[in-house]
Amino acid sequence: MRTPRAAALLMIAGLVATACGARLPDDVQAKAQSAVLNPVSGTTGGGTTTTGDGTTTGGTTTTGDGTTTGGTTTTGDGTTTGGTTTTGGTKGHGGKPSTTQTQAAGAPACGKGTDVGLTASDITIGTISDVTGPVSGLFQGAQQGMLAFANYVNATQGGICGHHLNVAFRDGGTNCTQTQNAASDLVNKVFAFVGSFALYDNCAVSVVRAHPTVPDIHVALDPAASAPSNHYDLTPGPLGYATGMFAYLAKKLGSKVQHVGTIAEALPSALAKQRAITHAAESQGWKFVYSQNEQPTNSNFQGDFVKACQQAHIQVFFTVTENAQNAATMIQNERQAGCPKDLINVIPIAYDQAFTQAFGNNTSAIEGLLGYNEYALFFNPDEAARIPEVKVFQEWFQRTYPNQPANLYAMYAWADGRMFQQAVENAGGTLNRKTVSAALKKIRNFTANGMVAPAMPSSKTVGPHCYILWEFSHGAFHRLATPPTSGPTGGFRCDGRFLRSN
């Protein structure tokens, strides 16, 4: 059985899938974290605490052929910072890379220079993600996606601007102190932070602020983490939500959107998100006639659907702040509660391989399911045929982690890597942290070659509003009402606007 903390962490992980530029107020996020996890003061989470002189046994080093050596790095004050340094190659496929560092044919004219984490032949980035804690492997996908990206650029492009890409990993441990220690340990070793995914990313803010020339490229989970001027995000902006998808679905479903039911997690973070979402939906004519907040420990929603269907007579069910596992349970509970067979389900969080696995070969119950993403259908074969970047991502993820499913966090880390690469390639004649940060500030309509919705990564005031619509039919997810993939929007619909939350 899931513990309350584990269930709530999974819910927060689900929230990331529906970020769409939204951020949570600091006090709300703090309360959410307090409700989910043990108090963080003076703890080290998943890290190991030692006593005495705090001897060092060496960081874990993963080489290109996939072998691992070493152990845990422990600092003298007894706080574990630990981590993994990855140095190129393709794990499980092809062994170590060539030591010759040449710029790929047709690549941009790149600058030269040295800096922290930058030599004439190598560039090292740092990635912090939660691997240990109440939910084991919570954001391990970020590590996997970052390594897949490094393997790709090293093997096919000679690295980035002729520099072999190394990735230094640290485990945030789903813990404030450990996340802060990880940032402190890396900041004077790596050129930039790229692809991090840590629930307590706000705990690294003091380190990021103290080093304003260090690029910090990651999807912020806490609003404080997005505030530093040197932070760059795939889903930037304040708390709010896009309106375009609600306008489109209102036209498609007609008067049915006047009879919507919804269920949200009864946590401050989820409720703040829910308010932003319903505000955007209501601005496009939606009306929520049934709304229920459930505790994260709840795993049966049949009673909710009895009320929603038989008393409130909902015609559309919408949920976005739950996780994919609960969403699958909800659809099963609809049938048990006697909801009408023509009830429309709009569940964005269902784009998850774990969601469809819950139904096995019997996917008739989710036929016609509707949803939307602010990123491409990254595990779809047909999407790989449509968008070359998705094909490359799928290919290199499988080369690096054979037979493992790529999740959202892996895709985000890959896209973060692309943002970093673009900035390095456009930094000018002198290559250092300062020039790369300047290049990041100039990026507009970043899409990672069509993988994510267009955004201005440095924005602090306006979130992205582009999206794709999808429908589940004939056993698979398919795009719905898709614009051309060419052009600045990269196949995303950009009608509507970003509506800040009240």
Tens digit of each residue's pLDDT (9 = 90 or more) over 86-137 = 554 433 333 333 333 344 445 567 999 999 999 999 999 999 999 999 888 9
Per the structure, the count of domains in the chain is 2
Domain assignment present for 468: no
**Does some domain include residue 435?**
no
Residues 219 and 246 in one domain: no
Are 259 and 217 contained in the same domain?
A: no
**Domain C-terminal end among 199, 232, 265:** 232
Task: Render pLDDT for 329-354 as a digit per residue (tens, 0 to 9).
Answer: 999 999 999 999 999 999 999 999 88
Pair of tokens at residue 138: 């919570």
The enclosing domain of 325 has a CATH number of: 3.40.50.2300
Pair 247, 201 in one domain: no
Beta bridge partners of 241: 499
Looking at the fold, whether 77 and 179 belong to one and the same domain comes out as: yes
Label residue 91 exposed, middle or buried (CB < 10 Å: 0-12, 13-18, 19+). buried
pLDDT at 32 over 60: no
Same domain, yes or no, for 80 and 106?
yes
Does residue 286 sit in the same domain as residue 358? Answer: yes
Q: Is residue 272 part of a domain?
A: yes
Verify that 196 and 265 share a domain, yes or no.
Answer: no
CATH number of the domain residue 111 falls in:
3.40.50
Q: Is residue 428 part of a domain?
A: no
* 472 Cα distance to chain centroid: 22
Confidence bin at 489 (pLDDT 50/70/90) = low
Whether the pLDDT of residue 46 is over 70: the answer is no
Do both 61 and 94 map to the same domain? Answer: yes
CA atoms within 13 A on the CB side of 393: 36
Same domain (yes/no): 100, 204: yes
Of the listed ranges 128-132, 292-296, 367-371, the least confidently predicted one is 292-296
- Domain span including residue 254: 240-373
- Lowest mean pLDDT segment, chosen from 27-31, 427-431, 437-441, 474-478: 27-31
Answer whether residue 155 is part of any domain.
yes
Flag whether 359 is in a domain.
Answer: yes
Q: Does some domain include residue 300?
A: yes
Reduce the secondary structure of 148-204 to three states and give it as a string. Answer: HHHHHHHHHHCCECCEEEEEEEEECCCCHHHHHHHHHHHCCCCCEEEEEECCCHHHH
Residues 179 and 244 occupy one common structural domain:
no
Say how far apart CA 108 and CA 425 lie, in whole Å. 6
Whole-Å CA distances, 246 to 210, 285, 385: 41, 8, 28
Alpha carbon distances (Å) from 282 to 242, 250, 307, 308, 420: 12, 10, 22, 19, 37
Burial of 416: CB neighbours in 10 Å, binned 0-12, 13-18, 19+: buried
Rounded to the nearest 10 degrees, the angle between the axes of helix 268-282 and helix 26-36 is 130
- Count Cα neighbours of 183 within 13 Å in the Cβ-side half-sphere: 27
DSSP category for residue 224: G
Instruction: Specify whether the CB–CB gap between 428 and 436 falls below 8 A.
Output: no
Domain boundary among 340, 373, 406: 373
Could you identify the residue written with the tokens 């804690």? 133
The tens digit of pLDDT for each residue in 231-243 reads 999 999 888 999 9
Buried b (16+ CB within 10 A) or exposed e, 294-307: bebebeebeebbee
Tell whether 175 and 56 lie within a shared domain: yes
Do 51 and 148 have their domain in common? yes
Considering only CA atoms, give the Rg of the chain.
22
Q: Per residue in 171-204, pLDDT tens? A: 999 999 999 999 999 999 999 999 999 999 999 9
Model pTM above 0.75: yes
Which of 210, 232, 254 corresponds to the end of one domain? 232
Closest CA to 219 of 464, 21, 24, 493: 21
Would 26 be classed as within a structural domain? no
